[in-house]
Structure formats: structure tokens, C-alpha cells
Structure 1
Amino acid sequence: MSAEATNTGAPGRWRGRRIDLRRLGRAALAGSGARGRLPDAIDHVAKVHRAHHPGADLDILRRAYVLAESSHRGQTRKSGEPYITHPLAVTLILAELGAETTTLTASLLHDTVEDTEVTLDQVGEQFGAEVRFLVDGVTKLEKVDYGAAAEPETFRKMLVATGNDVRVMSIKLADRLHNMRTLGVMRPEKQARIAKVTRDVLIPLAERLGVQALKAELEDLVFAVLHPEEYARTRELVLAHAGRPDPLQATAGRMRAVLREAGIAAEVAVRRRHFVSVHRVRLKRREITGSDLGRLLVLVGEDADCYAVLGELHTCFTPYISEFKDFIAVPKFNLYQSLHTAVAGEDGQVAEVLIRTHRMHRVAEAGVIALGNPYAAPEACESADGERVDPTRPGWLSRLLEWQRATPDPDTFWTSLRDELAQDREVTVFRADGGTIGLPAGSSCVDAAYAQYGDGAHHCFGARVNGRLATLGTILHDGDTVQLLMSPDADVTACGPSPEWREHARTPAARIAIDRWLAAHPAVPDPPADPAAGTRPPVPAGPPRGAERPRGPVAVVADRAAASVRLAGCCTPVPPDEVTGFPVRGGAVTVHRTPCPAVHRMITSGRQPVEVRWHTADGAGCGDYRVTLRAEAFSRPRLLADLTEVIAATGAAVVSAAVEPPYEQRVRHTYTLQLADAAQLPELMRAMRRVPGVYDVERAGRSVAAPL
């Protein structure tokens, strides 16, 4: 974490509150002070810390500073400042965000093991196991041992440690912020390399941990390094508005009056956008007004007051309903809670408004840092493998830790990590059992399956989204309800993912699991296609052509001499179907099921139907009933074998079967079956419907859901 030198001049959220590092350096060189008294160099950190934690034990901070200062003594940064100024500045950043004492202690010591002769065992002996764990979590791996893999493996180690204690990443983020603030004396190519890693990894992690204060300043610092021209243009735009009347201040004054009259105790302030936020608004709206340079922040005491404020503002101002979002009822994945709305402000300009409680505001700014020590609560416990269970550990981190275990290759891990963090937001979908799943925007049902079931998702054969059948490639949106359809077959080779699943997977966890399964289960080549038909050839089954067929009930024409009767192939009627006949050439009659669409077409065209009925001849019960069924299913291995096995178990014979090529993971099987008894048909359709992957069975000619 040894960083680097002078300030770039980029705007910082705390620029006005930053302490003079040269003064700190002089104070550090002046000595550690009398025993039991706080050294001058850490006095400011202690005052900020006590403002958040009045009863904090400052002695451990004094001892940590003494060890850090003595071990780093003689080391300087590239700016020429004493090295101790870096851990002091990192600790101050965390103190301003309200971090508790253990985090600040580890922050003071975070570079000692990496850059001095101090060992982890010494840190543990003097400051306890928690501080030792945090210091170890942020200590980089040696390039001597890991070579080019040192950076990705360091982040892997840090993420694993973060999974056990989120305070590890809090220290790393503050460390990177100070390094970015002091990046100016580095070579331009090294500045760009550090800024890119900050953009691709650290800023998304700050977003996911809810530390918006750090994220905003990191974004501006990266913006200045990687896009200096756009940064300068945005800076000039902001400065150009600085001397003009502020329409947001006028709107804020009106809001204070409205809320005061309503008897709602609230603070209303103008919250300025940071440079990257202004840049994004400019790209979105092309032109910038004074109201676009900030938002109005309304702070109240209780959750109910937030909704009371919303009601008053929507009553007394013209609201833009499309801008309303309720992140109190449905918090974001990173702990963020607030009501968002927009109203018409001065001169009709749009004024965006954030409404939240003071507690919500602290969490919005500091995220997990504002939660203090997550292990001091009674619910803190240990898992079966001895690791601490973090009650604040977010779902995205659990998913990340799961897939990283299956990615031993550093390059694959590094690429997958960047891909995972590149998703700029998450969606929350509801499970059928009432739980929720957090997924990156653009995720599909495949991703939801692996997020919920891990490798058990190999058994998934379909999904219902908001109550409707959907393919596994269906993209999920915020608020969707997903029910994953799972095969009961314990043998995963009976179903399992197809290569198409890989195309629909957006999350590394899903992609890695699918790749691992496909590698272990090579695909069996498909039979050659029929070039003329463009489809797979029909699969022959059942009795051979020309075999003697048993006799049974036949359709006869009512009140007419014996006539040649043919059963229509389009709907394959069998007893006890309601049937209708139509005379054809040669005196024959073609019999259709009455609901068959062909019946409607012929009657509409003027053809006259004749009455027909079923007649049972000698040998009833050993009949010759033919029926054509279509099975609609989600494509999976062994589906054809499972369906034909079920058909055979009911006593039906397969005359012919055809399988159409899968489309969007759906497949259609068409079977012409010979039944011994028409009464078999309902049970046959029920049995086919129970085959994993099959979601509908219909008679040819019209859609008929399988009986339940």
C-alpha cells in the first residue's frame, strides 16, 4: 500500500477538512509524546473519532500509533513526507466516516507488516486477534513469490478476508483513496494503471459496500487521471455556474416553509453533485441548468416522516411521478435507503429530491463502515468450519466468494472479477418461496438458478416468471417473481445444462459451473439432419408397417348404409371424442374431432357435415386407436428416452415419433401412438406431463392441456 506522493488537485469531498500532512510529518518527527498522553500527530484523529464514539478507548490508538511511527521511522514517501503520514491520513478518512476503534487501530498498522520488520504475530500479541486479522487481510502478497499473479492473488486474498470481516475492505478503500489523492508525482503510465484498477475494482466494491463518500471522490480522482479533457470541461462548467443565483437554494427555502407549516421537523440542504455525476447528467441531458448541479436532501427523524414529507412535497409542488423511487420499502443491495422524487422548482427547472432519516443518511454515506463492529452484536456467531459469520455480508459478496473458489487460475479470476464488478447495478427478484435473489442487471433465469441452488441448478429444466412459463434465457427485471422448475431425478446426467445455457449466463458463478459440467459431460453428437426437411429425421418406433392390427370401435355414419370411414390425421379422433364427419369423393366419410379447426373451416366454406358415432365391434378392448400427441418441453438430454419409456409403461405403442430442433431451449416431440383402449388417453397424457422438462401435452389439431 505504499503510495505515492503529491495531490493531483482533483476535487475531494473532504478537501476543506483535510489535515496538513506536512504538519503531521513534523509532529511525527517530534516524537511520541509522554507516556499515556496522545501524540500530537494523532490528536486530530482522536477528536474526530470521539465525535462519533464518545466513549472510545483512545489508549489502543496511542499504542498503535507509537508502534507504526517507530517502525516506519526513516521511511519517506515519494513526495518526501514521512511515511507515517500515509497511515495517519487513511485512519483519519475512516474516523470521519465513523469507523470504530478496532478498524482505526488496524488502519494505523496496515502497512507495518508489509513494509517494516513488524510481524503479524507481534501485532496479534499487542493488539489482539481482530486487529491481526484485519492487518493480514490488507497486506499485499510479494511479487517475488507470485510474479505477475501478485495483484490478482492479493485481491483474491483480500476478498476472502472481506467475506469473513467487511472491515478489511473498508481499510483498503480508504488506503486507495489516499493513494489516489497523492498520485501526482508518479509516472503518467503508472498513474493510468493504478487509476484503471481503481475504476474496475475498487470503485465498484465501494458502491457495493455502500460507501458512497469514498466512491464519489475516487470517481473524480480517476476521472481526472484517465479523462483529463472531459474533467477540465466539466470543472469549467461547474465554475461557470458558481457565480450565478442558485435555483436549488430558492427551492430549498420554499420547501422549508412548506414543511414547517405542516409541522414536520426536517432539515433541507442542497447537496452538490461531484464532477463525474455532473458529467453523466450532461451526457444524458446535453444541456445543464443550475438545478442539475445538485439535489435537495431532506433529513427527518423517523421512517414515517419520510412519507409525510413526500406527501407534502407532492401536494405543494408539481411532482414528476416518473422520477419517484422508494428505496425505503425496498432497499438497494448495498444497504442504501431513501425516497427519490423530483418536483418543479424555480423557473420550472427540475429539482431532484432525496428524503431520508439521519440514520439512513449515515449509512448512505459510509455504508458498512457506519455499522461499526458487526461482530459485537449478539447474533454474531461462527460457522461450522470455524469462520465468523458476518451479519452484514451482502449476497453479492457471498456469490463472488463461491465462484472464486472454483477459479484457481489468476488470470481467469482477475477477468471474472472485473466482469462481475462491471455490472453497474443489481436487480432484486423474488423467489416463489418468499425469499429474494440479488443479481446483476441483465441476468437471466439461468443466473437465478445458480445463485439460488449452486451446482444443484444443473437439475433446473425451466422457470415461471411472474406466473408465466419462461425459457431459462429470459432476462429478469427488478421486482420479478421467479419460480425455478427443478427435476426430481437424482441423476444429474438425466438433465443438466446445455451449451445454450452458457450464452444466457451473465454471472461468473453460473458460467463457471456450466463450463465445469460441460467439460465433465461431453455432448453426444446429434444424428445427421435430413437436408430436404431441414430437421432431424423421424425416430421410428412401435410395430412395423403392415403388421396386423387388432380390431375395435370404429366410427360409423348414422342412418346410412355402410360407408368407407377414414379417421382424419389432423386430429386423430379416438373414442369417446365428439366427432363430426364430412363426405369426400368416392362415397367415403372423413371423421374429425368436433373441436378440430378443420371442421370450422369446412362448415364456413359451405361443406355439409354428416352425423357419425362410435360403434363397438367384436373384440372391443383390443382396439386399434391411433392418436397424435405433441409434448412441449424444455430441451435437455435423455428427454426422448424418458418420454418413450413413460409411453411404453402405459401400454401404448409408438407408431412414429419426430423431434423438432430446439428453439430458445424449447423442443417439441410429436408422437403417433396406438392405444389398446381409448380410456388410456387421459392417464397417458398425465404421465407424459410428469416427465421432468415437459410443461404441456396436447392432442394434434387443438391445444389441450394435459389433465392434472
Structure 2
Amino acid sequence: MSAEATNPAATPGPVVPSAPRRRSRPRIDLRRLGRAALLGPASRGRLPDAIGHVVEAHRAHHPDADLEPLHRAYVLAESSHRGQMRKSGEPYITHPLAVTLILAELGAETTALTASLLHDTVEDTDVTLDQVGEQFGAEVRYLVDGVTKLEKVDYGAAAEPETFRKMLVATGNDVRVMSIKLADRLHNMRTLGVMRPEKQERIAKVTRDVLIPLAERLGVQALKTELEDLVFAILHPEEYEHTRELIVDNASRADDPLAEFAEAMRTVLRDADIQAEVLIRPRHFVSVHRASRKRGRMRGADFGRLLVLVNEDADCYAVLGELHTCMTPVVSEFKDFIAVPKFNLYQSLHTAVAREDGQVAEVLIRTHQMHKVAEAGVIALGNPYTGSAEEQTRGGADEERVDPTRPGWLSRLLDWQEAAPDPDTFWSTLREDLAQDREITVFRPDGGTLGLPDGATCVDAAYAQYGEDAHACIGARVNGRLATLSTVLKDGDTVQLLMGQDPASEPSREWLEHAHTPAARIAIQRWLATHPAPTEQVGPGAAEDPAPARPTGATAGSAAHTPGTGTSAESAPATVPPAPRPGAAVTVVGRPGAGARLAGCCTPVPLDDITGFAVRGGVVTVHRTECAAVARMAGAGRAEVDVSWGDTTGCRVTLVAESFGRPHLLADLTEAMALEGAEIVSATVEPPTEQRVRHTYTVQLPDAGHLPTLMRAMRNVPGVYDVGRAQHHAQA
């Protein structure tokens, strides 16, 4: 349920200022919608007046759309939400109406609008998913279910690694789910003034860190820019006010350089007999703020851009030629995103022209269809389950657009979250990817292209092109010259990856130092986790030290915590250095004398079901049968080796305890472990995050049968809410 729902007595707060709107359609008055909603459904056969604005916007994009599902969806939503109110005082139905209107203005198709009207019914009313499916079909049911799952994600803990992963899983294969969520967040941000300042700030930070980057990747610039301005107003009110004053002062000037540029361009294009619209697009608040920091004093032409709209792709280049011939081009500003579209569907020609007084106008040249996609991204592509593949990919050929509901970047994120060795790795690499402000395009010899983040290397290019087969990469040619895999690529480079023929080829550990994309880092880390370095191999019967991950700030010389001293777990990270590790005896069936070692990724202990895989040097690595690495290696064709436990007296295992921070917690926990006969070999306590603490212990037990009792005793310590077996992964 939206945090806005409350009782009618709530008092509205100040309205958060928002960015100037680029469209001519005025923002709908919520009170007007509220009055219309209170009147209830219209007479039979006629659409309710309350959704008249939605219908008008929808027909502008889809004149032949069947409006009957919208009628039925509104009637169900209005009757289900009747009696619920928002903190602003309006009936709750005004929220799904406003969300649906946002999507309708962007050109969303009827199915998405129907799901948008119903998006809060399953979460907030007695309506069930089965009822939605029976009345509106499986597709609407799927979308409503996806949005409902997103509502259950704890956005307040957006810094937690698992949060983003859950969002992606909840989104599933259809990004229309996320489109509805983004429109939902935009409307809530528009009305955020009714919230307490501290709650406004929390919601704004989550919007900035998670939802705005997603809007960028979906290509929904219209939502992204307004969300940016709303966040800017809340988190940086003084800078927002300064920017607003700059915009107001510029608007009060008698002369308008952009209008003069626009008229000159219309004349040039008219004389060349090119049909085109030349429009002025004011910069939004965040864009003006960035430009002022970059350029210092702002001049009149800096407050906006010129947009030239034409009918055909070829006309874009004709416009470019005329402008560069008849006006003074700023060559360094030229970019061709038509020939090489951005990963988020964006296509345009970018250039700039100057005049004698030094004023420079930035120019965007695109077709009307490109403009629609530039504003609305995947929303503008309509229903992906109707029409031909050619219609779905209109606006430029790109292999990532075959299924608009699951663009290539979303497929990669879903693959990463499945392949990542742990949530922290997934989260850190994903945050780096979302934080990229610039993407470069490199060319392949076969004519294809690769989109990579700025600063990417040949290692990143190899994994972007070949996936895990890039383990066999042995070198590269950049622009025809031999280059090392650590070479940083520049926009426009041509890269030829040189692949080895040995199927047993392996990546170098040093590659991690040169890998910047999640695809490359996760693939390399996953391989290293299942193929420890030769220096880690030990003799027969010996076990592998799991090497607990060192927390941020911990060093090899960190002081060990002494149990019983009462030291708080909220203090600096404590690390107990590991002792030499004896191992449980493992027999390799049919290979007398073969060396065996216990895998650090799943830390098997006696009585666990185990299997083995041969690695370098004739050593067999032993895994628990349910270990994820087993499925990966078996799927890759690696032969399993039969192994069995020998002497099960004495075993070593690594456990992870999750707890709430409190004084004396570490002392109480280690005392409970000692009472169960566990000898602590090594221990790591990570710095607390939101009052939660993660402890990692490697312990020696007299017998594997003691493990369940030990874990139960640890869970019984006040403040500890979970204890589990560790899943360790090799670090670079």
C-alpha cells in the first residue's frame, strides 16, 4: 500500500516545487479528480468522468484503442478503494488515476493502463489476483502481481545488497512492471509535501539511488528528469532555490538568443525545402544546475536546447548538413546516436552551432518516432506481445530490442544476480554500473558494436562479447594494433579479441584489476571461486582454509577481541587470526593416494552429502552436493569424482551469525560457543550497518554431530536472529 493512504483528517503539507513541464497539457488538479471520483461510476455504457483525462491522453497516442477494459478497471478500482483517503485529503482513487494519466501521456498501451488502474487493489483492498485474472486476463494479472511484489520490497533499506536483487526478480521478464512503479513513485514525489521532512529526505534518497538510474536505463527521460528535479528540491533546497532564481532571471530578459537561433534555423531549413519543426526545449532544474557548475556564468542560450523534428531518418542527416553549411558548427559537440543508438533505445543527432557574439546553441535532431522513444523509452514501444518484430524494433536496428519488455541490460542484470557469488558482490558491481554517467561504443571487426562504461578495458570487451567463454581470451587488437587486455578503450575504438583454442583455458587473477563491468567481474570471480590458486593446494586429507572475507577497514594487524571483556560489537571490526587448519579425512574413491581438499565455497563437514571435481595438480576439490558450484561445473561438462568421508571425529566449519548490535553481544556469543565445546579458529566482525552486525566464525568441533546443537545455541543468544553455514568465495 502506498505510504500516502491515511484518514480524511490528515492535513496537507507544503507542495514540493517541481520542474517546469515541457508538454503543453496542464497538470491535472487532484482536487478536481477527487470530486469526480466521489461521484462514482457513470451510467452504464458511458465512461466515468473521472477517467476522462486518461482517455483523452490515451486516444492521442492510440486512437483505435478499445476503452472497455479501462472502464471496467476504473469501476473495480473506485469501488475497491472507496473510503480510503490519502494524506493530502483526496480520495485514494486519485492516486491510481494520476499514475495511469502519467503513463497515458507517455503513450502506454491499454494493457499497461488497465494494470496501472488496478496496481494497488491487490495490496490494499479485498480484490485478489485471481479476480484480476478472471476479469482482465493473464497479462494484466501478471503486471499487477509484479507491481504488488515491488510494493513489498523494503525500499527504506535500499543500501542493502538484497533489496535491488529482489526488485529485479519482482520485475521479472516484463519492464512494464517497473514502468508502472516509476509512474507511481513520480506521483508520490509530486505530493510528498504532506510528509514529515525526514521522511521526504529518506524517500528522495532512495529515488535518487535506485529509481532514477532505472528510469535512465528504461529510457523514460520524461519521468527521469522530473524525478531528478523533485529530489533536487528536497535534498538540496538552497541550490535548488539558486537555480530557480537563475531560470526566473533569464526568463525576464528582453532578448532570447534561443528564439533567435530557432528562427534562423527555420529559415535555413525552409530555404533547403526540408520539412521540419524547430522547437525550444528549456533545460530542467538539475540540467541548469549542472551547466552552471560546469560553465560558470550562464548565458541566454545555455538555458535550453533546440529540438529539430523531421519525418525520416535521412532527413536528420539532411538537416545536419544544412546547419553545418549555413551556420558555424562546434565540431567537438557532434555525436551520432542514430547510427549507434544508446543502450536505452535513445536515438538523436547532437550538434551545436555558434554565432558571432559567442552564444552557442546545442541542437538535437531526431524523427518524431525517435522523439517519442527518447521521452518515453520502453513505454513508447506499445504492447510487445502484438505486432511484428519489425514494428517492435522501429527506430533503429539493435539486437537488444527484439523483446522490448526485457532489454539486454535487464537480461544481464538478471543473469548477474543469479551468477554473483554473493549479494555483496552483486550489489557493489551493480552500483558501479548504475553510477556510470557515460557509456562508450566500441566496434567489432564483424560490424557489430559493444556498449561499455567509460573506462572499460579489453577484459570488459571480451566478457561483453563472449560471456564466460572469454576465459580463453589471450589478447586483443585495438584499431589494428596488438594491445594488452588491460588497455583502456576509447569511444569509437575497433576491438578484435584473440581467442585461444584450449577448452581448459583459464582467466588470470590479475584480470580482476582491469575488469570494470559486472559481467566481467562476476564471471572471473565465479571461476576463481571454483579454481583456487595452486599455492592454496594442500596434501591428501587436508582441508582448504575458507579465508573469511575481511570487512572494510580491517587489516591483517587488527586486534583480536577478547571474550568476556564486554567490548561492544558496534566498535571497530575485530579479527581473530586463523590458526593452522587440520582437516577431516576424505577418501577419493578409485584413486588411492589422490589428494583431496574441502571447498571453501560451501565448507562441507562430515556427514554432509559430498561430491568432488578434479583440479590442477591431481587434487580433488570436495563440495557439498547442493553447492551452486556443483551445478555450474556439472552443467559445463566437468566430470564428478566419487568421494566419501573417512574419520568423522573432529571437523571444521565456518558459520555466519546475523544480529542486532548491542553491548556485550560478542562476549555473550563467543561464550555460548565455548560452552558447546567449539574451538574458535578465526573470527571476523564486520562494522555495523543500520544497527545490524555480521559475524563470521571458523570453528573446530570434536564431532560433526555437534553442529546443529552449536547453531541452536548461537541463535538463542539475545540479539542474534540468524545463523547459517558460510558461502565463501575467492577474492582477487
TM-score (norm 1): 0.69
Selected match of 2:93 from 77, 80, 84:
84
Counterpart for residue 604 of structure 1: none
Question: Which amino acid letter does the alignment assign opposite residue 438 of structure 1?
Answer: G
Paired with 1:188 and 1:484, the residues of 2 have a C-alpha distance of 53
Q: AA paired with 2:65?
A: A
Displacement after TM superposition at 1:35 (Å): 2.0
The 8 Å contact of residues 141 and 153 in structure 1, kept in 2 or not, is answered as no
CA 1:54–1:279 in structure 2 vs 1: closer, same or farther (change >3 Å)? Answer: same
Deviation at 1:487, TM superposition (A): 2.4
- Within 5 Å, give how 1:340-419 maps onto structure 2: 340-345=350-355, 347-379=357-389, 390-391=403-404, 393-407=406-420, 409-410=422-423, 412-419=425-432
Stretches of structure 1 that go unaligned for 5 or more consecutive residues are: 382-387, 528-636, 640-708
Change (3 A) 1:354 1:372: same
Which of 292, 295, 298 in structure 2 is aligned with 1:282? 292
1:299 matched to 2:293? no
Q: CA deviation at 1:347?
A: 3.0
User: Which secondary structure state, in structure 1, belongs to the residue aligned with residue 345 of structure 2?
Assistant: coil
- Matched letter for residue 445 of structure 2: A
Q: Deviations over 1:89-123 (max 9, x none)?
A: 01000111111100100111111112222221111
The answer as to 2:522 corresponding to 1:512 is: yes
Letter in 2 for 1:169: M
Residues 573-588 of structure 1 aligned to structure 2 (within 5 Å): none
**Cα separation, 1, equivalents of 2:402 and 2:275:** 39
Q: Displacement of 1:413 after TM fit?
A: 4.0
1:20 aligns with 2:29: yes
The answer to whether the aligner puts 1:467 opposite 2:480 as a matched pair is: yes
Match of 1:435 among 445, 448, 451: 448
Change over 3 Å in CA distance of 1:253–1:147 after alignment to 2: closer
Letter in 1 for 2:285: F
What does residue 687 of structure 1 align with? none
- Determine whether 1:234 maps to 2:243: yes
For residue 255 of structure 1, what is the aligned residue in structure 2?
265
Cα distance in 1 between the residues matched to 2:369 and 2:465: 31
Does structure 1 residue 156 correspond to structure 2 residue 165? yes
In structure 2, the partner of 1:424 is 437
Distance 1:484 1:144 in 2: 41
Residue 491 of structure 2 aligns with an amino acid whose one-letter code is D
Deviation of 1:163 after TM superposition, in Å, equals 5.5
**CA distance in 2 between partners of 1:255 and 1:472 (Å):** 47
Cα offsets for 1:500-525 (capped at 9, x unmatched): 21121112222222222222222123
Distance 1:465 1:162, change over 3 A: farther
Distance 1:411 1:178 in 2: 32
Whether the 8 Å contact between 1:396 and 1:438 is mirrored in structure 2 is no
Change (3 A) 1:391 1:173: closer
Is 1:482 matched up with 2:495?
Answer: yes
After TM superposition, give the deviation of residue 391 of structure 1 in Å: 4.7
**Counterpart secondary structure, 1:483:** strand
Are residues 254 and 341 of structure 1, via their aligned partners in 2, closer, same or farther at CA, if it must alter by over 3 Å? same
For residue 327 of structure 2, what is the aligned residue in structure 1? 317
Which 5+ residue runs of structure 2 have no aligned equivalent? 5-11, 392-400, 538-614, 618-732
Q: Secondary structure at the match of 2:86?
A: coil
Aligned to 2:2: 2
- Larger C-alpha radius of gyration, 1 or 2? 1
CA contact (8 A) 1:250 1:346 kept: no
Amino acid across the alignment from 1:215: K
Give 3-state SS (helix, strand or coil) of 1:252's partner.
helix
Q: CA deviation at 1:174?
A: 0.9
Q: How does 1:518-533 map to 2 (within 5 A)?
A: 518-525=528-535
Shift of 1:222: 1.0
Q: Aligned in 2, Cα 1:517/1:310: closer, same or farther, shift over 3 Å?
A: same
Q: Which amino acid aligns with 1:329?
A: A
Alpha carbons 2:153, 2:167 under 8 Å: kept: no
Offset at residue 346 of structure 1 (A): 6.9
Q: 2:473 touches 2:498 (CA, 8 Å); kept in 1?
A: yes
User: 2:213 aligns to what SS in structure 1?
Assistant: helix
Equivalent of residue 78 in structure 2, options 66, 69, 73: 69
- 2:155–2:163 contact (8 Å) kept in structure 1: no
Within 5 Å, give how 1:624-635 maps onto structure 2: none
Q: Sort the Cα spacing of 1:151 and 1:187 in 2 relative to 1 into closer, same or farther, 3 A.
A: farther
Residue 12 (structure 1) shift = 4.6
- Residues 424, 104 of structure 1: alpha-carbon distance in 2 compared, 3 angstrom cutoff: same
Secondary structure class of the residue paired with 1:140: helix
Q: Which stretch shifts more, 224-233 or 444-453? A: 444-453
2:446 partner letter: D
Q: Give the C-alpha shift of residue 483 in structure 1.
A: 2.0
The answer (yes or no) to whether the contact 2:457–2:488 under 8 Å persists in 1 is yes
Q: How does 1:256-275 map to 2 (within 5 A)?
A: 256-275=266-285
Q: Is the 8 A contact 1:94 1:104 kept in 2?
A: yes
**Higher deviation after alignment, 265-274 or 420-429:** 420-429
2:193 counterpart of 1:180: no
Aligned to 1:11: 19
State the Cα RMSD in Å.
2.8
Q: What secondary structure is seen at the aligned counterpart in 2 of 1:33?
A: coil
More moved, 399-408 vs 24-33: 399-408
Matching residue of 2:462: 449
Does residue 209 of the first structure (1) align with residue 218 of the second (2)?
A: yes
Q: Secondary structure at the match of 1:103?
A: helix
Q: d(CA) in 2 for partners of 1:432 and 1:426?
A: 20
Secondary structure of 2:521 counterpart: helix
Distance 1:179 1:407, change over 3 A: farther
Q: Which amino acid aligns with 1:2?
A: S
Structure 2: distance between partners of 1:372 and 1:41: 24
- Please tell me the residue identity of whatever aligns with 2:2: S
Q: Give the Cα separation in 2 of the matches to 1:145 and 1:251.
A: 49
Q: Summarize deviations over 1:657-703 as a string: whole Å, max 9, x none.
A: xxxxxxxxxxxxxxxxxxxxxxxxxxxxxxxxxxxxxxxxxxxxxxx
Distance 1:413 1:122, change over 3 A: farther
Residues 1:233 and 1:326: Cα distance change in structure 2 (over 3 Å): same
In 2: Cα distance, 1:474 partner to 1:276 partner: 34
Contact preservation (8 Å) 1:258, 1:312: yes
8 A Cα contact 1:163 1:390, kept in partner: no
**Helix, strand or coil for the counterpart of 2:100?**
helix
Deviation at 1:210, TM superposition (A): 1.4
Task: Say if 1:247 and 1:345, in contact at 8 Å, map to a contact too.
Answer: no
What is the aligned partner in structure 2 of residue 104 from structure 1? Answer: 113
- Mean Cα displacement is larger for which, 152-161 or 140-149? 140-149
1:295 is displaced (CA, Å) by 0.9
The 1:393/1:113 distance shift into structure 2, 3 A limit, reads: same
Distance 1:427 1:364, change over 3 A: same
- The alignment covers a number of residue pairs equal to 521
Partner of 1:674: none
Q: Is the 8 A contact 2:158 2:206 kept in 1?
A: no
CA displacement at 1:24 relative to structure 2: 1.1
Question: C-alpha separation between the residues in 2 aligned to 1:8 and 1:144?
Answer: 25
CA distance in 1, matches of 2:402, 2:280: 39
Shift of residue 3, structure 1, vs aligned partner: 4.2
Q: Quote the Cα distance in structure 2 between the aligned partners of 1:512 and 1:336.
A: 28
Amino acid in the other structure paired with 2:297: E
* Paired position in structure 2 for 1:114: 123
Partner of 1:347: helix, strand, or coil?
A: coil
Taking a change above 3 Å as real, the CA distance of residues 345 and 139 of structure 1, as seen in their structure-2 partners, is farther
Task: Tell me the SS of whatever aligns to 1:17.
Answer: coil
Note if contact 2:153-2:163 (Cα within 8 Å) is conserved in structure 1.
no
Counterpart AA for 1:265: Q
1:570-604: per-residue Cα shift (whole Å, max 9, x none)? xxxxxxxxxxxxxxxxxxxxxxxxxxxxxxxxxxx
Moved more, 274-283 or 299-308: 299-308
TM-score by length of 2: 0.67
* Cα deviation, residue 442, structure 1: 1.6
% identical aligned pairs: 79
2:684 aligns with: none
How far apart, CA to CA, are the structure 2 residues paired with 1:55 and 1:152?
45
Distance (Å, rounded) in 1 between the aligned partners of 2:110 and 2:252: 42
Larger mean Cα displacement after TM superposition, 170-179 or 431-440: 431-440
- Offset of residue 140 of structure 1: 3.3
